[in-house]
Structure 1
């Protein structure tokens, strides 16, 4: 097999992490494993295995012919047979198919909100889907949507997996009391719903109980980010709620945390929950997308409706009030992740789907 992963950027998001994870995992198992980044590099570039063939296209627009033919030449030179396109990178993969029909395309959808969209908002994807040999999705709602809306028959659910790099330099040190740190690992953007966590933190007066909140994720310095910062300042929470931007030493960060939180209003299959599990963190999680299949309520964590702030507060109160519960949740989630979402299991299943294509 000679396969490339294509992704639009290497910002620290879920789809981006999986593109890197696949490229790294496959490099020791197939003849050729490449990673192509079309538009923008980012912090994840440091996590690409040196054995992976890496190409940055620096694509400037929708129809950037220079970037497209650079991709075509790369594919031909390396005798690539299969293009695994993640998220919105499907479009450049389809353009490649038009000028080099020999290659086969798999589209991998990570965006959970797509399952609630109409085909009118996805007409380019609809027509592009005729070029797909197969579609991979990260949850069963997306699988149903693709089968109903797109022109492709072979649609497969592929679970995500996570890796925590123990050898990555430890550069991030969390503030606050050592045993009372909440971490939210998510880029600062919709639909991650950080404001719900901030409101709950403030209304519960968790700072007066010694707790602190740590937001780890890309800060786009936009209106979303500004709203969070203004809320923190207005409520005098500067010494209790901290923003760190994108970070690569995730294992080190999570080793300093007490509780992991995810509050998104929509999700596909959040790698964040797997990373919390590998770190043995007890978790309070949104109940959307694939989350309820990872977080079994009152067993491997606690679930809440992201639009119900009182429910979030109730679950936070439950988890901060009991060390025994936290230990139990963290242990159960750790076991569940190791048993069901390990790299070896997912890659083995991925191979079977590659072979079918």
Structure 2
């Protein structure tokens, strides 16, 4: 098989990271693995395996004929058989299918607001659904949604998977005290609900002022990001909560942290959680998306409803007070990731699915 991944940008987001992960992992498994960024490059460019054939389209508008023709040329030159389109790049794959009908095209659904699927826009997805040979969903809710709402055939649930980052020039040094850092890997988006994190941080400052929070993720310089920064000041947390922006040296950052958290109000299956497990971090996360399928409460982490700030605080204090519990949870979560969420296991299912159903 000769497969290319298509993604709108290479900014450090979950869907973007998975497009790179698929391309990199497949480079050692199939005849040809390619990656196409349609609109924008970004920090993940440095994570592309040299074995992956890469193209930046620099697409300027929704119907950019020149970009479509450049993509067609890339596909023909490399004798591509399958187009794997992540998130909103599915529409470009659909347009390509119109002029290259022999191509097998796959839509990878990473939709993050799956706690609110009833409000998801679906007109374009419905109109194009019959052109796709298969759909990959990152959790069971999204799989059911495609089957019921879009009447899509050949839908499979495949979990996200983490990979070790390639060598990176970044070497982030976290502020705060060694052994007393709590990290959150989450872009500054509303669905990530940093407001819950700040409520917990405000409460934790009263009881454990020497513990600090470290927020790593892209700052979109929008209203939501501004509100986070205002609350840090309002809550008097300037010495307790630190923002770092987007970073690529994830393993280095996690190795400087003792506890990892996610406070999301909606999720698919966050790559960050899998990275936490890969680095054996004790976690407290919210009960949304596919996270309850990964984190078993009081077995390999703590999991709490997304509006339970007091309970989230209580679980954090449990971890802060018990180093042995942190170690046990970290090892248990690592074992969960190794059993069910490795690149090897997911790619094997993926290739079997392609060979059997497409």
TM-score, structure 2 length as denominator? 0.96
Equivalent in the alignment of 1:47 = 47
Contact 1:81 1:104 in 2 (8 A): yes
Distance in 2 of aligned mates of 1:106 and 1:261: 32
Q: 1:187-217 CA deviation, whole Å, 9 max, x = no partner?
A: 0112000111011110232575310100000
Contact 1:207–1:240 (Cα < 8 Å) also in 2: no
> Are residues 1:348 and 2:348 paired?
yes
Please give the secondary structure, in 2, of the residue aligned with 1:280.
Answer: coil
Q: Which residue of 1 aligns with 2:247?
A: 247
Does the C-alpha gap of structure 1 residues 241 and 94 become closer, same or farther in structure 2, counting only changes over 3 Å?
same
Quick one: distance in 2 between partners of 1:166 and 1:72? 30
Unaligned runs of 5+ in 1: none
Q: In structure 1, the residue corresponding to 2:251 is in which secondary structure?
A: helix
User: How many Å separate the matches in 1 of 2:141 and 2:61?
Assistant: 31
Pair 1:14–1:231, CA change in 2 (3 A)? same
2:272 equivalent in structure 1 = 272
Residues 330 and 119 from structure 1, CA distance in 2 versus in 1: closer, same or farther, beyond 3 angstroms? Answer: closer
Instruction: Show the counterpart of 1:333.
Output: 333
Post-superposition shift, 1:118? Answer: 3.9
Matches within 5 A, 1:294-313: 294-313=294-313
> Does the 8 Å CA contact 2:33/2:52 hold for their aligned counterparts?
yes
For 2:35, the equivalent position in structure 1 comes to 35
d(CA) in 2 for partners of 1:340, 1:348: 12
SS at match of 1:84: strand
Q: What is the deviation of 1:133?
A: 0.3
The 5 Å alignment of 1:209-220 reads: 209-220=209-220
Deviation by residue 1:104-141 (Cα, 9 ceiling, x = unmatched): 11101011424633487210011111110000001111
Cα 1:333–1:284 shift into 2, 3 Å: same
Is contact 2:205–2:240 with CA below 8 Å preserved after alignment? no
Contact 1:115 1:145 in 2 (8 A): no
What do you get for the CA RMSD once the two structures are aligned? Answer: 1.4
Does the 8 Å contact 1:260/1:281 carry over to 2?
yes
Three-state SS of the structure 2 residue aligned to 1:244 is strand
Aligned residues: 357
Distance 1:328 1:266 in 2: 27
Shift of 1:240: 1.6
**What secondary structure does 2:122 align onto?**
helix
- Which residue of 1 is the match for residue 98 of structure 2? 98
| In 1: Cα distance, 2:308 partner to 2:207 partner | 21
Shift of 1:317: 2.1
CA deviations 1:323-355 (Å, max 9, x no partner) are: 121111111001111121111111111111111
Distance 1:292 1:281 in 2: 17
CA deviation after TM superposition for structure 1 residue 28, in Å: 1.6
Aligned counterparts of 1:34 and 1:348: Cα–Cα separation in 2: 18
Look up the match of 1:222: 222
Report if aligned partners of 1:284, 1:302 keep a CA contact under 8 Å in 2.
Answer: yes
- Kindly report which structure 2 residues correspond to 1:51-90, keeping only aligned pairs within 5 A, or say none: 51-90=51-90
Is 1:315–2:281 an aligned residue pair? no
Distance 1:207 1:59, change over 3 A: farther
Q: Please say if residues 204 and 313 of structure 1, whose CA atoms lie closer than 8 Å, have aligned partners that are also in contact.
A: yes
Q: Show structure 2 runs of 5+ residues with no match.
A: none
Cα deviation 1:240-277 (Å, max 9, x = unaligned):
21100010111000000010000111111111111001
- Displacement of 1:146 in angstroms is 0.7
- Shift of residue 308 of structure 1? 2.1
Contact 1:9–1:40 (CA under 8 A) maintained in structure 2: yes
